[in-house]
Amino acid sequence: MLGKPNTNGGVLRNVAITSVQFEEYIGGYMYVTGREIIPTQGRLQDAMAFVTTMTGSMNEKFNSNLAVSMEVGGNPNKLWITAFWATLDDYQSFVEGYSTDPTLQVGFNVADSVVAEAQDQIGQVMRAPGERKQFAQMNTGRIRHTRYAEGIEFAMNAGETISSIAGTELGIVTPITGDLYDINFVWYADSLQGLKDLQDKLNASEEYQELFANGSEFFESKYESNIVMMVS
């Protein structure tokens, strides 16, 4: 996409997913990609303008669904480009398309002046989040390497329970690149307060508290949270 990516290699995990779960995914999208962008110091607004313009052109040309977000409550000098894909072949075709498009390449020449660093991530959507909204929260845990299959099963079951408690769908994404024992829990809201309200519902639920405590059998103590705001 934009900037010079540093992509970590990874392997696909063969995790069983039922046909019912497949049908629940948003528009059939099974994979998600993210590009983390660090703008050149003092060029955040320029980088944001460049990224939003280029992703808009790419969406129009390739019928993709790239969205640009910025971190809230985290690194103020960081942007994200995310997109969903039905298959990895679709993503590969997209990469090959924009990499060889002469018109886009002219625009990419500007990247070096506004983008200091870029990092790519690819994930598999195990459970679909709800409809994209302006704010997204991603909570990242890490499965114990000796309990991976059981940890995935626990997370999938927990996703059903948590979605029922919160009243909105909790997405679950496992990495294809990066730390393969990480697991990401994602949901959307219209505002920061909306995200806080979702967490408050969980904190007030005895069922959730019991579920969270039982998770320590399958997950390490690592648990990080990031919030982004969609800007285009």
**According to the model, what pLDDT value does residue 7 have?**
34
Average pLDDT score over residue span 8-12: 31
Average pLDDT score over residue span 195-217: 95
Q: 42 pLDDT exceeds 90?
A: yes
Q: Which residues lie below 8 Å from residue 110, measured CB to CB, with a gap of 6+?
A: 50
How far is residue 220's CA from residue 151's CA, in Å, rounded to a whole number? 10
**According to the model, what pLDDT value does residue 220 have?**
96
Residue range 18-36, pLDDT digits in tens:
333 333 444 567 999 999 9
Instruction: Return the percentage of the chain with pLDDT > 70, whole number.
Output: 88
How far is residue 47's CA from residue 77's CA, in Å, rounded to a whole number? 10
CB–CB of 152/143 below 8 Å?
yes
Instruction: Return the percentage of the chain with pLDDT > 90, whole number.
Output: 81
Domains of the chain: 19-230 (3.30.70.100)
Residue range 70-110, pLDDT digits in tens:
999 999 999 999 999 999 999 999 999 999 999 999 888 88
pLDDT category at 142 given cuts 50, 70, 90 is very high
Q: In 68-142, where does DSSP find H-type helix?
A: 88-100, 102-108, 111-114
Average pLDDT score over residue span 177-199: 97
Please provide the average confidence, as pLDDT, over all residues in the chain: 88
pLDDT category at 199 given cuts 50, 70, 90 is very high
Q: pTM for the complete prediction?
A: 0.85
